[in-house]
Structure 1
């Protein structure tokens, strides 16, 4: 029986004679084995179940306890020590038995055997010293048990598998989700755990994307004065670190302890503050004070971080209601492009909505002043503020007469109908296709156990509802604020008839785009902002959207932000609700032959279709339980907070939605960044030109435009050689190299024109281009692209060619392909 032992980090590998190569296909996952309990002594306890659970919590082995004392590690051990010999032999037998069991899961004699678990490498020296002895001992007895073992990395394992030259069956695009460690333990709760942190992390990532591209444009091809490049790079590095740190598997997943989550939040906030400061210093030359509450006027710079022209509406909170807005040329902005209304959260403040068109990777500057009274005529030029239309409270469950008492809100693309009898949404009419889809929305809650003695519990990882979701409100109040630029529908949900404060709210906005402006992305979306919380303990809140689409209870969602996965509803005898939840990283949709309803989110959530024509999104969770792990490490979700997630709804024919969904998702993720400063005389000097705008083809997205500032060689081999030699002086950051990463947004055959290869022109003054791995670490010429033998396709097709070949301008990118280049 062959064996290959591999740690995903500092791994273990080995070879032996196969004992049955025609075993079953690769299982759905492999765990990092570690025990649920440890026994002190020379060797740790190694229970080794006959079929080890894929859960990290129930595997067979750990080395956290002392196999050797610290003194023995330093002085070695006596090979004649018979007690030690028999202990080592027993552990070898258990480990080899487990490896042979796992070998039945693999197609080749090379076995992937991950080693380690959370909190088990706090004493790394002890861990590896113990494992070193065991591996040497196993390899001494290869002739008897047929197993060899060695440390390795993932590349070592896949090299061995590829060299085996087996013929593989191609699995389709489906992923392996959802994961369950037992029928009652569906790991679908972490899709939503710590929703506030998930939202902050995504906003921080978007701000980093904007700051990186703005700094690169400022530096390339030459710096344009202030700020100091070294200082600027250090500010970006702070947010780079915070955004990278929160990608840890026990961070963005929401499965970390409370104090660790607080640390992530602190680091993200600090990083965002310094990058805001950097962007302010670039666009305002560092001479302005930050905007304050007593300011009599503001300078607003609106930066578009996308590499195509965007027409959108930005909003600013002001302390005055009469405004005069001029652009960077000194011309007044048309009142048709402005709307002022009272703030719903801050009664003494006002919200200014402003329509703007910004070219790719460029910014627009505006001067915003309170309108002064004309001394000669005693008049003030005002923008008329819309007045809310208020509707009476409606109790839940009141029957609605069909097509009666409907209120409509219309823009150029959609008409949203609201039912006055329920104060809920009734339907949406897609004006271009002429199709009307019945749509209503409401908040519901899943109740969960908190005491393990009363049944399975939900925790940071798992979702285990007691029963079906129930409505958590009794009455709803509605307002409609009709403006010439934005119309807002406000729905407030109250837990009881006598409640004075609402617990949940939906703010739905439709934009009205004047003729002659780009309407595609702005008009074809219904923006919704939800106010959720604070929740009651052991409550998981969802927003369920019900339609009359004949979806067959099939949901589509993305698990990685790029590819959509088909998620048919499946019936299980146990825990069926939780086992039909899936991750929604950015988008989800349901459809029938008439229409497709798309949901786009600015952060990750759990999503499911629990009924025909339904889609529900888990918005937030508040949990407390008495699991040992929760109590020991404070792994609770007992957060009393309010969250404000933002969604965009798109409705239309499949072809149109296929075209709009990827670009609209990016427009939501990378909304314009507004830099606001107090107005002063110095602010009016806007003569400094900004770089020329960048416009990519509509099927391409500029994922990264960054100056990494590496203080080491971009040649990986040379870098390793320098590390081995050691450095005698502090290296300087290289500010001349630019990292560019592009992404083709559409899959093969997904769209008749947008799925075609896209060409990239107009990069500006580029001296040299070098294609890199997606991480930027390796030159692709140093990498080998493997071709796998498959049953239905033979030998896989060779690579499509370098997207960043400097001798082949313009550069090309193929369907759903990504490419990274150093310029």
Structure 2
């Protein structure tokens, strides 16, 4: 046994003695192969221009074809692509020349391929990985989108991919570099996450055309990205490189079977001998590229979409290119070409020991030409975006209950359940052509089908777990269409129970609306106390949108209280002689209010006119309405670019008002108050206020968007207020830190604005706000959407898009969604939550509100009375956690271990109450799990935290250091600083 192994064995023994965890969860610990990673890089020439040639393939996990079609090479009439053949061919060619290199990115595809290989082939591939000839970069299940993904889902999909690589290949399978060469703009939170996952650097391919031009001139295409205002540097610092050709090879040097560039013809006896011409063109490109980068090392990506299916074509020509270019050195040439990887290139940049430009903002919005802003996909396919968000929340519930219910959750009274199907489905949905909405329709349908299949498997697991925790094996029903008031059990049953599971670590009050046929009901909680409830008529708009999927005329409305990380059970009984339903009155509204909020309406128009916070005694003017932008068809004098799935380009800066007034109905009861607004046959809304709510709910229903006028439509809602915004507004980055935006402005270059609407749109993942010194209006969204503040005091959010032209970015079909239920055009329903606070206390309201919108309670129903021995209440926590703490992850790791992530959900200086350090005792956390030991991991759970080392980089400008994080009081007491996520492997009983 070598010294390293002895030391690790001693460390393992010590941890076990101290009650720690050491089950080698991070792959083949103890195996140390020095040939991989940075130690496998080819030697470079310090006095020459070194050209790092990086063979790679970019394999979309669904885009024009489904994931399965891409893997197997099916439907080549759509696009010729077969990932299994790419991996077959690359491995074969790597074996023929030890100098060759290849990088692979998408673990979802590699995982499939690996399972189909013989043990002999697997050993061969392990040898290639151990020798650094096949290197994994990025390593997540997919290459995620950065605008429309929530950070929790991104962390999960990265963890899944990286864990497979660790388990399969050990340390040599761990990627050193993040690689997002195709996403359409880049989020600061992604860079922060990659830094906390231990990556040394990050390479991207797409950059705004104006930003790229300036960076080329200033030689700032390689930079240090400081990706958090709260985390102490260098915790969220990430070296970032911008690739010279997107992710394609230089012009004239593509040797894939899909390319038309001539091969290297090196027989001097042939008339078409072209070696001299190839070398001359290559050297010219290399020298030109070197002029806009800072070191004597440059990188060239040699590959593109689904290339290397016949890897022999590429490698035969690359072998020749390297040989003939380097032969020039004998005649005084100063260029050295070599096979390389992004990590080897990064190592040379690090060795240069330079200082690098510092960046603190993000890379949104992205435009590749003056009128081509890729800001439409922030909203494209809004129904899929919502389904992805719901599915991510369901997955967290599934993961938690798999831990809390124990082994019986996977194989219990309701059969075999599993979380893996859902994990893979949600992971695939994070791909930059999935939740982004930039895929063909049949591919979007496939993503939705996968999510549905995953939830079916999780339902069995959830039922088994709740049976174990409650002691009841009564059949559970899940009603997934409550947003359109459909649930067969509640419509038909005279007595039933509602189980409300809360995945948050704080108690929540949640409104429940159930379709019913009766007119009066009694609701009681787990302790038998009566709960205020109300029956109201189903709105006409809901009856239309649900089509034939339900027929209940009424809805039962009440509020539930769910304990932290636990459930509560409510009993519902039909009354024979009760009060009639609250009628909807057709009249002009004036105001609705509860003890916290008051919303006023203009009686002449039926529109909102003001919002008051009764606790702070602040009132703002607030009007809200719906508009649509006329989508460009590309037929105008400025540009032929149409609006499409990716690109938002309105024909005019002035949107069309759908209606200046709304027809209204009003319902006012002690439980619920709502104003139902009707603007057009395809636009309606309910302004809703529940008894105990501090947020005003706007439930919008939009569609089918009319297109008989041959005009594509991009529908927005706009809130115009008295808040003095000075052209600033704020959006979240992947659901975490808030970023300041300003109209017609970019922090890192002087913007020439050519699209005054689309060029000011930014991604809103979970919330946005406008503020001045006195007031802050925050809008919490239920999915990712695009938004802007075009006018002072205004905030607009795009809700739905229906377009008649393709935007010529590859999808080759217009974004014109229909379905079997809505053949005339898709109808989308969603909600916005409005919170009015003083700026210094707004985060205390909007951060938990946003988390609650992402992790909504899971409702399940059982028919009849609960069994007398049924446990009706449960919490897995000994006590609710402090408001600053969010439980991000609780999931099974192996038989004896669980993965736990705790997050400080406030930014530095954001809250007077909650922006300080907070300490949690892990041993006193759970009521049903005994924590026997703990080890800390990095964010992606593929390295021990104390062993994670990263390359150090020097910024050109250094800022004042932040507060130093205090040490933990003990191994089981952990302290979280603002915006910090800490990941632990717990050994539990």
Q: TM-score, normalised by structure 1?
A: 0.79
> What's 2:645 paired with?
460
Q: Would you say 1:736 and 2:896 are equivalent positions? A: yes
Shift of the 441–91 alpha-carbon distance from structure 1 to 2, 3 Å rule, reads: farther
Partner of 1:718: none
Between the aligned partners of 2:866 and 2:789, the Cα distance in structure 1 is 57
2:220 corresponds, among 23, 26, 30, to 26
Judged with a 3 Å threshold, the aligned counterparts in structure 2 of structure 1 residues 351 and 790 are, in CA distance, closer, same or farther, namely: same
Matched with 2:696 is 526
Partner of 2:147: none
Aligned to 1:350: 554
Cα displacement (A) at 1:426: 0.6
1:390 aligns with 2:597: no
**Residues 1:509 and 2:688 are matched in the alignment:** yes
| Offset at residue 795 of structure 1 (A) | 11
SS at match of 2:946: helix
- Whole-angstrom distance in 2 between the partners of 1:29 and 1:637: 40
Aligned counterpart in structure 2 of residue 295 of structure 1, from 487, 493, 497: 493
Aligned to 2:352: 164
- Contact 1:452–1:627 (CA<8 Å) still a contact in 2? no
Corresponding position of 2:983: 820
Moved more, 444-453 or 600-609: 444-453
Instruction: Tell me the distance in 2 between the aligned counterparts of 1:187 and 1:135.
Output: 37
Deviates more, 1:307-316 or 1:238-247: 307-316
Distance 1:357 1:287, change over 3 A: closer
1:337-388 CA-to-partner distances (Å, cap 9, x unmatched) read x2221222246332222222222110011222222x4xxxxxx2x2553222
Give the structure 1 partner of residue 891 of structure 2: 706
Match of 1:175 in 2: 362
Deviates more, 1:785-794 or 1:159-168: 785-794
Residue 732 of structure 2 corresponds to 558
Deviation at 1:638, TM superposition (A): 4.4
Is the Cα–Cα contact under 8 Å of residues 55 and 181 in structure 1 kept in the other structure? no
Which residues of 2 match residues 71-90 of structure 1 at below 5 A? Answer: 80=267, 86-87=273-274, 90=277
Q: Indicate whether 1:746 and 2:929 are aligned.
A: no
- Match for residue 942 of structure 2? 777
Q: Residue 269 of structure 1: CA displacement?
A: 1.4
8 Å CA contact retained: 1:324, 1:332: no
Distance 1:84 1:355 in 2: 84
Q: Take 1:794 and 1:434, find their aligned partners in 2: how far apart are those partners?
A: 39
Partner of residue 480, structure 2: none
Deviations 1:20-72 (A, max 9, x none): x9972434999xxxxxxxxxxxxxxxxxxxx9775979976543326899xx9
Aligned match of 1:275 in 449, 455, 458? 458
> CA 1:102/1:383 → structure 2, altered by over 3 Å: closer, same or farther?
farther
3-state SS of the aligned residue for 2:684? Answer: strand
Q: Is the CA contact 1:789–1:796 (under 8 Å) kept in the aligned structure 2? A: no
Distance 2:615 2:649 in 1: 42
Which of 504, 508, 517 is the matching residue for 1:310?
508
- Provide the rounded CA distance (Å) in 2 between the counterparts of 1:142 and 1:460: 49
Cα 1:555–1:776 shift into 2, 3 Å = same
SS at match of 1:542: strand
1:323 aligns with 2:528: no
Task: Please tell me whether the aligned partners of residues 473 and 493 of structure 1 are also in contact (alpha carbons under 8 angstroms).
Answer: yes
Could you give the per-residue CA deviations for residues 265-312 of structure 1, whole angstroms, max 9, x where no partner exists?
A: 111112122222321232145541636353332221100011112223
Identify if the C-alpha distance between structure 1 residues 363 and 67 changes in structure 2 by more than 3 Å, giving closer, same or farther: closer
Three-state SS of the structure 1 residue aligned to 2:358 is coil
CA contact (8 A) 1:209 1:704 kept: yes
Instruction: Determine the C-alpha separation between the residues in 2 that align with 1:88 and 1:217.
Output: 66
2: CA distance, partners of 1:802 / 1:596? 35
CA–CA separation in structure 2 for the residues paired with 1:592 and 1:645: 28
Q: Is the 8 A contact 2:266 2:274 kept in 1?
A: no
Instruction: Please tell me whether the aligned partners of residues 380 and 438 of structure 2 are also in contact (alpha carbons under 8 angstroms).
Output: yes
> Quick one: distance in 2 between partners of 1:428 and 1:695?
32
TM-aligned CA distance change 1:234 to 1:634, over 3 Å: farther
Partner residue, 1:660: 845
Cα RMSD (Å) of the superposition?
3.6
Structure 1 partner of 2:723: 549
For the structure 1 residues 83 and 574, does the alpha-carbon distance in structure 2 shift closer, same or farther, using more than 3 Å as the test? Answer: farther
Over 3 Å counting, the alpha-carbon distance change for 1:690 and 1:603 in structure 2 is closer
Q: Is the 8 A contact 2:775 2:838 kept in 1?
A: yes
Shift of 1:649: 0.7
Q: Equivalent residue for 1:258?
A: 441
How many angstroms apart in 2 are the aligned matches of 1:89 and 1:742? 60
Corresponding position of 2:626: 443
CA contact (8 A) 2:52 2:339 kept: no
Deviations 1:728-769 (A, max 9, x none): xxxxxx322211112211222222342212211223422221
Structure 1 stretch displaced more, 534-543 or 564-573: 564-573
In 1, the alpha carbon distance for the partners of 2:570 and 2:967 equals: 42
Mapped to 1, the partners of 2:343 and 2:595 lie a distance apart of 54
Between the aligned partners of 1:430 and 1:333, the Cα distance in structure 2 is: 29
Q: 1:272 to 1:93 in 2, by over 3 A?
A: farther
Distance 1:218 1:735 in 2: 13
Q: Distance in 1 between matches of 2:563 and 2:873?
A: 17
* CA distance in structure 2 between the aligned counterparts of 1:298 and 1:736, rounded to whole angstroms: 37
For 2:247 and 2:223, how far apart are their aligned partners in 1? 9
Report the CA distance shift for 1:430/1:239 in structure 2 as closer, same or farther (over 3 A).
same
Q: Unpaired segments of 5 or more residues in structure 2?
A: 1-48, 58-101, 105-131, 134-214, 225-242, 478-487, 544-550, 746-751, 819-824
Q: Distance in 1 between matches of 2:358 and 2:571?
A: 59
Give matches, 1:327-476, under 5 Å.
327-329=525-527, 331-334=528-531, 336=532, 338-344=533-539, 345-346=542-543, 348-371=552-575, 373=576, 380=577, 382=578, 385-391=581-587, 407-450=590-633, 455-467=640-652, 468-473=654-659, 475-476=661-662
CA distance in 2, matches of 1:259, 1:92: 45
Cα shift readout 1:447-476 (whole Å, capped 9, x = no counterpart): 123355883201111111110211123652
Q: How many residues are treated as equivalent by the alignment?
A: 718
Q: Secondary structure at the match of 2:218?
A: coil
Query: Structure 1 residues 102, 250: closer, same or farther in 2, change over 3 A?
Result: farther
For each residue in 1:212-252, what CA deviation from the matched residue of structure 2 results, as whole angstroms up to 9, or x when unmatched?
11211122xxx4x4551899886211111111111111111
Deviations 1:100-145 (A, max 9, x none): 3333343333434444433445555644554454345445546655
CA shift in 2, pair 1:415/1:230, >3 Å? closer
Equivalent residue for 1:712? none
C-alpha displacement at 1:693, in angstroms?
A: 4.9
Q: CA deviation at 1:781?
A: 3.3
Matching residue of 1:499: none
Residue 484 to residue 87, structure 1, CA distance change in 2 (3 Å): farther
Partner of residue 763, structure 1: 925
How does 1:642-661 map onto structure 2 within 5 Å? 642-661=827-846
When structure 1 is superposed on structure 2, of 429-438 and 613-622 the one drifting more is 429-438
Residues 530 and 112 of structure 1: CA distance in aligned 2, closer, same or farther (over 3 Å): farther
Moved more, 356-365 or 311-320: 311-320
- C-alpha distance in structure 2 between counterparts of 1:106 and 1:230, whole Å: 63
Structure 1, unmatched stretches of 5+, are 15-20, 31-50, 374-379, 393-405, 495-501, 514-522, 709-733
Output the CA distance in 1 between the equivalents of 2:437 and 2:373: 16
CA contact (8 A) 1:629 1:635 kept: no
Q: Is the 8 A contact 2:247 2:303 kept in 1?
A: no
Higher RCO, 1 or 2 (CA under 8 Å, sep at least 6)? 2
- 1:799 deviates by 8.5
Structure 2 match to 1:400: none
